[in-house]
Amino acid sequence: MTGHAPAGRDDDAARGHRADGHPGAQAPPAASSAGGSELITGIGELHTVDPARGADSVLTDAAVVVENGLIAWVGRASEAPAADRATDVEGRAVLPGWVDSHTHLVFAGDRGAEFAARMAGEAYAAGGIGVTTNATREAGDETLRGLVAGRVRDAVAGGTTYLETKTGYGLDVEQELRAARIAADAADEVTFLGAHLVPEGADPDDYVETVCGPMLQAVRPHVQWADVFCERGAFTPEQSRRVLEACRDAGLGLRVHGNQIGPGEGVALAVELGAASVDHCNFLSDEDVAALAGSATVATVLPACDLSTRAPLAPARKLLDAGATVAIASNCNPGTSYTTSMNFCVATAVLQMKLTVDEAIRAATLGGAKALRRDVSAPDRPAVGHLAVGTRADLHVLDAPAAVHLAYRPGMPLTWGVWRAGRREV
Ligand SMILES: [Zn+2]
């Protein structure tokens, strides 16, 4: 903050005006960050999700100061310092932006016919990935870049401010490298998922060696994470271990797709190897739940995917009750979860998985940040997923006076404003 007199600030409006919960006219986005500090005031309910605040992490009549892309101050509006300019959100609820820690955005084509067949009673199997791989390989670079950019825009428009995405629809060295480059230009974090499916005609063990050798070498400069689809019809536990160990030895963080289609060893393997996250978690034994609760491996649940595959919902309630850290992510992909709407995922987690609204918000913000190991600030990398002095200024303003509206009015256009790294995007 500079201590200059606030410009354009209306204190009376900031203190007194409260949103009534009706979806009003959309306010046009203010000019995006022009430098200096910005006071965001008139916050009816501020979900800081700040672990340091414990049970008092929700503030009413709050304000936030944003400067240089970071949160510079958080507290009661009546105690707010001056800033270069002010934005009054008129009583709306403010949350950290969603952290979507699991997406597959680099693809072409769609699988609407497969979805329709599934809705007519066919079971989901892993093989549909091959359909998307063929469509993706056929798409030109500019087409693919445009598709990914559009999906990221949709995600931001829905309140997502930090996003992971993956390779995994290339499945040969050249195509996985192309996907890694395109992903790195579009997303905050990129995961190498060469081990998504054994491509048609390939010998599984030969393919695993390609993933661990030339493919890993090619993508390594563009990715931070590695992932494997440890599942019946995809990669065995032994093959998964081989891939994860090779990628860990190359310096990548680990994530696992596990226990989606049936019980299996994905969770145990993820915990044993110290993976940051194991994702899906639909079929968990009591031992799996206990292992997650006793580890730093986040259990990432994917509610939209569970609905789209009509799978048993991941036991998020049981995981939280056991003490595990839970993240909620969209798993946006054309086969099993063609949505980036985190508002929808959060509503589903509340309505179907029996989380409270606060638990679901925490899982979709701080939980996602933990799943990407971005919940703690480093000197050159501010933390994301919660709002405290020094974290990245990622704000999601709802067109509602309280965050409970996310589940209370599911499907409604509740994202009113989005700030990403201090810059207003929506
Ligand atoms: Zn996935």
Q: Which tokens in the block code for residue 164?
A: 């992971």
Please give the pLDDT value at position 34. 56
* Ligand 1 midpoint to CA 169 (Å): 11
* Ligand 1 midpoint to CA 61 (Å): 39
DSSP three-state, residue 7: strand
Helix (H) or strand (E) holding 112: helix 112-119
* Ligand 1 midpoint to CA 164 (Å): 11
* Ligand 1 midpoint to CA 190 (Å): 13
* Ligand 1 midpoint to CA 264 (Å): 16
| Cα–Cα distance for residue pair 391/378, rounded to 1 Å | 10
Task: Summarize pLDDT for 281-333 with one digit per residue, the tens.
Answer: 999 999 999 999 999 999 999 999 999 999 999 999 999 999 999 999 999 99
Residue 356 β-bridge partners: none
Residue 341 β-bridge partners: none
The answer to pTM > 0.75 is yes
CB 131 within 8 A of CB 124: no
| Cα–Cα distance for residue pair 80/72, rounded to 1 Å | 11
* Ligand 1 midpoint to CA 297 (Å): 17
* Ligand 1 midpoint to CA 103 (Å): 6
11-97+385-424 classified as CATH 2.30.40.10: yes
* Ligand 1 midpoint to CA 335 (Å): 10
Helix (H) or strand (E) holding 23: none
Q: Which tokens in the block code for residue 303?
A: 């509610």
DSSP three-state, residue 100: strand
| Spatial CA neighbour of 50 closest among 32, 30, 31, 71 | 71
* Ligand 1 midpoint to CA 315 (Å): 17
* Ligand 1 midpoint to CA 407 (Å): 24
* Ligand 1 midpoint to CA 398 (Å): 28
* Ligand 1 midpoint to CA 374 (Å): 20
Residue ranges of domains in the chain? 11-97+385-424, 99-371
* Ligand 1 midpoint to CA 250 (Å): 22
| Residue keyed to tokens 């509610």 | 303
Residue 402 CB contacts under 8 Å (≥ 6 apart), including other chains: 44, 45, 93
* Ligand 1 midpoint to CA 102 (Å): 6
Domain 11-97+385-424 and domain 99-371 have a common topology: no
Residue 301 β-bridge partners: 328
Fold type of domain 99-371:
TIM Barrel (3.20.20)
DSSP 8-state code for residue 56? G
* Ligand 1 midpoint to CA 233 (Å): 15
Per-residue pLDDT of the chain (426 residues; tens, 9 = 90+): 333 333 333 333 333 333 333 333 344 444 444 579 999 999 999 999 999 999 899 999 999 999 999 999 999 999 999 999 999 999 999 999 999 999 999 999 999 999 999 999 988 776 688 899 999 999 999 999 999 999 999 999 999 999 999 999 999 999 999 999 999 999 999 999 999 999 999 999 999 999 999 999 999 999 999 999 999 999 999 999 999 999 999 999 999 999 999 999 999 999 999 999 999 999 999 999 999 999 999 999 999 999 999 999 999 999 999 999 999 999 999 999 999 999 999 999 999 999 999 999 999 999 999 999 999 999 899 999 999 999 999 999 999 999 999 999 999 999 999 999 999 999
CB 160 within 8 A of CB 97: yes
- Estimate the share of the chain in helix, then strand, then coil, as percent rounded to the nearest 5: 35, 25, 40
* Ligand 1 midpoint to CA 197 (Å): 12
* Ligand 1 midpoint to CA 217 (Å): 22
* Ligand 1 midpoint to CA 321 (Å): 25
* Ligand 1 midpoint to CA 141 (Å): 22
CB 335 within 8 A of CB 128: yes
Helix axes 141-157, 173-186, angle to 10 degrees: 40
* Ligand 1 midpoint to CA 191 (Å): 11
Letter for the amino acid at 254?
L
* Ligand 1 midpoint to CA 303 (Å): 12
| Cα–Cα distance for residue pair 168/142, rounded to 1 Å | 18
Residue 90 CB contacts under 8 Å (≥ 6 apart), including other chains: 13, 17, 18, 19, 42
* Ligand 1 midpoint to CA 257 (Å): 6
| Cα–Cα distance for residue pair 344/348, rounded to 1 Å | 6
* Ligand 1 midpoint to CA 15 (Å): 44
CA 82 to chain CA centroid, nearest Å: 33
| Spatial CA neighbour of 211 closest among 259, 261, 245, 186 | 245
* Ligand 1 midpoint to CA 337 (Å): 9
